[in-house]
Amino acid sequence: MAKIKIHSDQKYIEGLAANNSAIIQEIYKKFVPKVVFYIRNNSGNQDQAQDVVQEILILLFNQAKANTLQLTCPFDAYFFLLCKRKWLNELKKTSNKGVTIQEDAGSICESALELVEQTEEFDEKQQLFDAMFQKLGDKCQELLKLSFTIKSMEEVAEKLNVTYGYVRKKKSLCVGQLTQWIQEAKNFKSLKNN
């Protein structure tokens, strides 16, 4: 299998992951006006356009932080397509009529469409995880959040003022419950197969 060629615009993904304000400003200056123009010309307003941009940037930040995003096409095409699809999905939710997403094959490259689908799948998985995580009790949530940020379970135990053995057992139970709920979720099987 051929090695994936990373596009030079990967700098935008890396900049988002690093929370680099210069890169974020560049994205707002170079790419956001096109999205705003599109949404305003398709039944939306300035605030709705900004909401879509914010949601997509947060999604890209999360995916970039998870190191699962390697850009193989221009950032502009990828970002615009993500925003466009997000907006069309918003219209579909709020209108009684169905909205068909038709992509102009000439204006997008295949790799942009593929990346958008990967990002949408990442978003669905993240939403499922977040929803199930919120079902956990406060103690489980606190323990898991700490164990996500602090690598040493000894430090987590110290921070929570409990024993190391308790933290290990409790984490195992919390992860087990979270995993069970995720696997029992209606959309788990379709996400797992993607």
pLDDT tens sequence across 39-75: 888 888 999 999 999 999 988 888 888 777 788 888 8
56 domain residue, yes or no: yes
Banded pLDDT at 178 (limits 50, 70, 90): confident
- How much is the average pLDDT of 139-158? 84
Same structural domain, 93 and 27 = yes
70 domain residue, yes or no: yes
Q: What's residue 77's pLDDT?
A: 85
129 domain residue, yes or no: no
CA distance 131 to 72: 31
Structurally, how many domains does the chain consist of? 2
Q: What's residue 190's pLDDT?
A: 64
Q: What's residue 61's pLDDT?
A: 87
Same structural domain, 111 and 165 = no
Is the predicted pLDDT of residue 189 greater than 70, yes or no? no
Nearest alpha carbon to residue 156 among 170, 177, 176, 135: 170
Among 77, 94, 123, the domain-final residue is 123
Same structural domain, 172 and 115 = no
Q: Percentage of the chain surpassing pLDDT 70?
A: 84
Contact 23, 34 (CB under 8 A): no
Same structural domain, 60 and 102 = yes
CA distance 63 to 145: 18
Banded pLDDT at 188 (limits 50, 70, 90): low
128 domain residue, yes or no: no
- pTM score, two decimals? 0.60
Return the DSSP state at 20.
Answer: -
For 2-37, write each residue's pLDDT tens digit.
456 777 888 998 998 888 989 999 999 999 999 999
User: 165 is in which domain, residue-wise?
Assistant: 136-192
Contact 70, 4 (CB under 8 A): yes
Same structural domain, 116 and 49 = yes
Banded pLDDT at 193 (limits 50, 70, 90): low
152 domain residue, yes or no: yes
Same structural domain, 49 and 73 = yes
Nearest alpha carbon to residue 31 among 83, 80, 73: 80
Same structural domain, 48 and 108 = yes
1 domain residue, yes or no: no
Same structural domain, 66 and 154 = no
Of the listed ranges 106-115, 153-162, 179-188, the least confidently predicted one is 106-115
Same structural domain, 159 and 65 = no
Name the residue with higher pLDDT: 21 or 150.
Answer: 21
By 3-state DSSP, what share of the chain in percent is helix, strand and coil, each rounded to 5? 70, 0, 30
2 domain residue, yes or no: no
Nearest alpha carbon to residue 80 among 37, 18, 16: 37
Is the predicted pLDDT of residue 133 greater than 70, yes or no? yes
Same structural domain, 97 and 145 = no
Among 101, 123, 145, the domain-final residue is 123
Same structural domain, 143 and 119 = no
pLDDT, the chain, mean: 80
Same structural domain, 86 and 15 = yes
